[in-house]
Chains A and B, each alone.
Chain A
Amino acid sequence: MSTVMAVSPFLLLVAAGLAIMLLDAFVHERAELAFVTAVSLFGAAALAGAGAIFGVHGPLPSALTSYLAIDRFSFFFQSVICLGGAMTALLAGGYLPEHRLDRGELYVLILFSSVGAMVLASAANLITLFIGIETMALGVYAMAGFRRTSPRALEGAIKYFLLGSFAAAVLLFGSAMLYGATGSLDFAGITESIRSGRADVVMTAIGLPLLLIGLVFEVSAVPFHQWTPDVYEGSVTPATTYMSIAVKTAAFAILVRVLAVSFGDSVSASVSTGWPAVIVALSILTMLYGNFTAIVQSNVKRMLAYSSIAHAGYVLVGVAAISRVGELAVSATLYYLLAYTFSNVLAFGSLIWAGSRGKEAVSYDDIAGLGRRHPGVGLAFSVGVLSLLGFPPTAGFFGKYYVFNAAVQAGGGFVYLAVLGVLASAVGAYYYLKVIVYLYMREPEEDAPVAVPMRSGYVVAALLIAAFGVIEFGIFPGHYLEVALSAAHQLLG
């Protein structure tokens, strides 16, 4: 495999991003840009997907591999990020013209943020980690403030920006401490130094938690979640979709890589005194807080924000189990994030579809009776929330099954964690099924303004792809789990 092929997904997206900035000046219909963006992201996803399935052969120059990890694990995540980005671009192609926000920047931001997210997910060096997280985040901050005349959007953007930059600065200081402790910036050197016990214990003990704070901020794990509901609610819905999938996926990728590889030694990964104890605590808090707070929401978008916090908690169950059952837990985490990406696009996409100019669907009342008036919207929304709930045979069911199974296999206290996870998802049934109840069993109030679904081929295309994924991963989970397993094998091998 040549160097160019190894980084082809990045090259394709950067070229597309630059081209779209130019094209923006010439096209009449901005929605055409959505098509170009989506095609290039699907292309990059296919390139990365091929890398994940067929693996990496032949030597690569160390100038590349000491900064970017070119392995099945990176390719898997690159593919998931690109698929999420592509579906977001299609949703934006319908949403932006409908709500008179038809500007081309959002597509460029999606492309460049995806490149940042992919760099983060493939980082093999603390420098690339920081560059990746900032490239991703700067694009997402701008996306959050996309509706620049809306006080709510700007409020969300400023909250996200200030807290995100603070978290990034903390992450950077942690990186510097790890550099001081181990004497190297690349993960291979850090791993070597930690395993051989040469690393300075005090500086590691300061550096690793600070690095973790920066990463769990991005996945919005409790107690670093306060920004999430406000930013998700204030942003334009396609941007919200993007934040809830690509940003989380990339942050989880690097979290797994750092913890499983660099800090996979028996001392750091000791269940009682190492990082697993911290991850378990975060996971419990996140699952409980996310689910119980989602129940009391009257706004569907906010409910989905809390649901995304709860899902971060389920993924953390898988991350914690890595300390005991490495490959099984890593592959479960990979599969979960793939399933979650498609389910969340389906849920947020249906919410986009349900509204039209002048009346966006936001509250439960807005979607009352929609399932009977517009069966398509109702069906898409139902499948989306059922998959988020983990109802068989959807992708979400197998995601939860694999993650909780990994925790059970890990044994000991992890079994209780899995039980808690199952109970927390049962709580989730309340608010997910509430959506379906409103869709099919409620009628809108007499003189309340009724949300009318928009007409857009782009949104329908995005939802069809997402629905196909949710069903496909749910009926044939084995194929995808196999790819995830080989990625996990190469990561830990």
Chain B
Amino acid sequence: MSIEIGLCLALSTLLFGIGAGGFLLRRNMLIQLMAIEVMLNATNVALVSINRLHPGDHAGQVFAFFVIAIAAAEAAVGLAIVLGFFRVLRTVETDQADQLKH
């Protein structure tokens, strides 16, 4: 049973939209970090499904693996920065990050 490519891409775009919306609307750094992860994984869905149109190689699937690895590295650095921010300012709300003038 095969699922149509168009549906996979629609799912990917929907997930990406949810991630982007979450990032832009929420003010909690941890939620924003999760939203970015959703965006990256939405892209993985697109990469893997597009790869099915090109059965000769596995470029898209390989890319998805790299994205997973990089997302992990990004989460590590991101959580460290959020933790540092929380230690000093006792909050994880981006609204509180307003000391530097615009």
A residues sitting closer than 8 Å to B (CB atoms) are 126-127, 130-131, 134, 138, 141-142, 145, 148-152, 154-159, 161-162, 165-166, 168-170, 172-173, 175-177, 179-180, 183-185, 229-230, 233-234
A-B contact count (CB 8 A): 123
Cα separation A440 to B32 with both chains bound (whole Å): 48
- Are B9 and A151 neighbours in the complex by a CB distance under 8 Å? no
- When C-beta atoms are compared, the residue in chain A nearest to B89 turns out to be A151
Q: Which of B50, B59, B73 contacts A134 (CB 8 A)?
A: B73
Cα separation A180 to B60 with both chains bound (whole Å): 9
B53 contact set on A, CB distance < 8 A: 180, 183
Q: How many residues of B contact A (CB 8 A)?
A: 43
- Are A177 and B100 neighbours in the complex by a CB distance under 8 Å? no
A490 to chain B, nearest CB (A): 26
Q: In the A-B complex, list the 6 residue pairs whose CB atoms are closest, starting with the nearest.
A: A169-B39, A230-B100, A176-B46, A180-B50, A155-B97, A154-B85
- Are A165 and B36 neighbours in the complex by a CB distance under 8 Å? yes
A150 to chain B, nearest CB (A): 8
B70 contact set on A, CB distance < 8 A: 130-131, 134
B residues sitting closer than 8 Å to A (CB atoms) are 9, 12, 16, 19-20, 23, 29, 32-33, 36, 39-40, 42-43, 46-47, 50, 53-54, 59-60, 62-63, 66-67, 70, 73-74, 77-78, 80-82, 84-85, 88-89, 94, 97-100, 102
- Are B77 and A172 neighbours in the complex by a CB distance under 8 Å? no
- Are A166 and B62 neighbours in the complex by a CB distance under 8 Å? no
A176 contact set on B, CB distance < 8 A: 12, 43, 46-47, 50, 60, 63
- Are B50 and A138 neighbours in the complex by a CB distance under 8 Å? no
Known contacts A130-B70, A152-B100, A162 near B29 by CB under 8 Å: yes
Cα separation A151 to B97 with both chains bound (whole Å): 9
B47 contact set on A, CB distance < 8 A: 176, 179
Q: Which of A154, A157, A162, A184 contacts B59 (CB 8 A)?
A: A184
- Are A151 and B50 neighbours in the complex by a CB distance under 8 Å? no
Cα separation A148 to B33 with both chains bound (whole Å): 20
B9 contact set on A, CB distance < 8 A: 180
Cα separation A274 to B46 with both chains bound (whole Å): 26
B88 contact set on A, CB distance < 8 A: 148-151, 154
Known contacts A166-B23, A169-B36, A138 near B84 by CB under 8 Å: no
Cα separation A145 to B102 with both chains bound (whole Å): 19
Q: Which of A149, A152, A165, A177 has the most CB of B within 10 A?
A: A165
B1 to chain A, nearest CB (A): 22
- When C-beta atoms are compared, the residue in chain A nearest to B36 turns out to be A165
13 extra A-B contacts, CB within 8 A, seeds A158-B81, A176-B12, A176-B47? A141-B77, A151-B89, A154-B89, A162-B78, A169-B20, A175-B43, A179-B63, A180-B50, A180-B53, A183-B53, A185-B60, A230-B100, A234-B100
A173 contact set on B, CB distance < 8 A: 16, 39, 42-43, 46
Known contacts A173-B16, A179-B60, A185-B63, A154 near B84 by CB under 8 Å: yes
B67 contact set on A, CB distance < 8 A: 130, 172
B100 contact set on A, CB distance < 8 A: 152, 155-156, 229-230, 233-234
Known contacts A127-B62, A130-B66, A185-B63, A155 near B77 by CB under 8 Å: no
- Are B40 and A145 neighbours in the complex by a CB distance under 8 Å? no
